[in-house]
Copies of this chain bind each other. A is one copy, B any other.
Amino acid sequence: MTDRFRGVITPILTPFNDDLSVANDLYLDHAAACLAGGAHYISPFGTTSEATSHSVRERMEMLELLVSSGTARPEQLMPGTGLCSLEETLTLSRHAVDMGCAAIMTLPPFFFVNASDEGLYRYFSLLIERIGSVKAKICLYHIPQMTGIGISPALAARLNEAFPETVVAYKDSSGKWENTKAVIEAAPGISVFPGSESFLIDGMKLGGGGCISASCNSNVAAIRALYDLAAAGEWEAAEAALGPVNLHRKAIQDGGLIPALKSLKAHLSEDARWLTLRPPLENADPAMGPKLAETL
């Protein structure tokens, strides 16, 4: 990856059957639709994918299925691989790197929420050493409102300096623009992706990478069009395109993101399996989808 890592990345939803197993048919259809709609990459096992509600075994099987079915090429994939156990994070990371995935997205280990930056540095540097491949590209995943522990701008910069060919991206799902900006400034070698398209223009003006956003599951074509305008430096046209994109985002966000996206998918696809979420989350309300479809 000599060029900077950039684009519109969809953290794809995971549909489940009634027994809570993964609905492979719906999964592949949805992944294909996101790519056809304009996503540069898809990211299985982000928060929107209910990543942590999957087993290690399932994650590897689903990633293999995306490729073996011809739905996605490995270079279009950036799977989430971050767990609390270094061994298991390593298992998922090596598997993705061996498959030729574009990058891996790694949460900090999220149980010891008081771990120091020094301790997190130790974790990530051991992970990188043990992956032991120049092909590994890591996107640090910052979502402190879920993990209770974040990846500070200083830590991102330190990791990029120590591993410039490996630690190449940062997903900022904090929703805090000040943090996004601080990472871009502290770590110019890193491609920073806001977790919302609302910050896509502001981020790209400073050299940010694009966005990795939940609403790419329902609005990828418009977000891709916005990205293309920003990438071409057509800032006025991009600002004009941002308005409707933000309205879409707000409707999904007000519905609680995952349940809203799933209820909308259930309505549009006429497949009620989309309403299922894995516990500890509750199933989506079937009435939300039709309302959202009307609003959007």
The interface residues of chain B lying within 8 Å CB-to-CB of A115 are: 279-281
Candidates B51, B56, B116, B279; contact of A88 at CB < 8 Å: B56
Which residues of B sit under 8 angstroms from A119, Cβ to Cβ?
279-282
Contact of A52 with B279 in the complex, beta carbons under 8 Å: no
Do residues A87 and B110 form an inter-chain contact, with CB atoms below 8 A?
no
Closest residue of chain B to A55 (Cβ to Cβ) is: B87
A209 at the A/B interface (Cβ < 8 Å)? no
Within 8 A of B (CB), among A265-290: 278-282
List 4 additional A-B contacts (Cβ < 8 Å) besides A47-B111, A113-B146.
A52-B84, A110-B110, A111-B146, A122-B279
Kindly list chain B residues whose C-beta atoms are within 8 Å of the C-beta of A280.
Answer: 108-109, 112, 115-116, 119-120, 122-123
Which of B52, B88, B112, B118 contacts A55, CB < 8 Å? B88
B55 x A111 contact (CB < 8 A): no
Distance between Cα atoms of A57 and B84 in the complex (Å) = 14
Query: Are A111 and B56 also in contact (CB < 8 A) when A279-B122, A279-B126 are?
Result: no
Please name 18 pairs of A and B residues whose Cβ atoms are closer than 8 Å in the assembled complex, sorted by A: A20-B126, A47-B111, A51-B111, A52-B84, A52-B111, A53-B86, A53-B112, A56-B88, A86-B278, A111-B147, A112-B281, A116-B280, A119-B279, A119-B280, A119-B281, A120-B280, A122-B282, A146-B148
Is A18 interfacial (CB 8 A cutoff)?
Answer: no
B85 touches A55 (CB 8 A): yes
Partner of A87, one of B58, B84, B118, B281: B58
Closest to A278 in B: B86
Looking at the assembled complex, report how far the CB atom of A207 sits from the nearest CB atom of chain B, in whole angstroms.
29
With A115-B281, A119-B282 known as contacts, the answer to whether A54 contacts B85 (CB < 8 A) is yes
Q: Give the contacts of A237-296 with B (CB-CB under 8 A).
A: 278-282
Determine the distance from Cα of A54 to Cα of B84 in the docked complex, in whole angstroms. Answer: 8
Cross-chain contact B146 with A279 (CB below 8 angstroms): no
* Inter-subunit contact A109/B282 (CB<8 Å): no
Contact of A53 with B282 in the complex, beta carbons under 8 Å:
no
Say yes or no: A53 contacts B85, CB within 8 Å. Answer: yes
* Chain B residue nearest to A148 in the complex (CB): B148
A278 to B52, CA, bound (A): 21
A294 → chain B closest CB, angstroms: 27
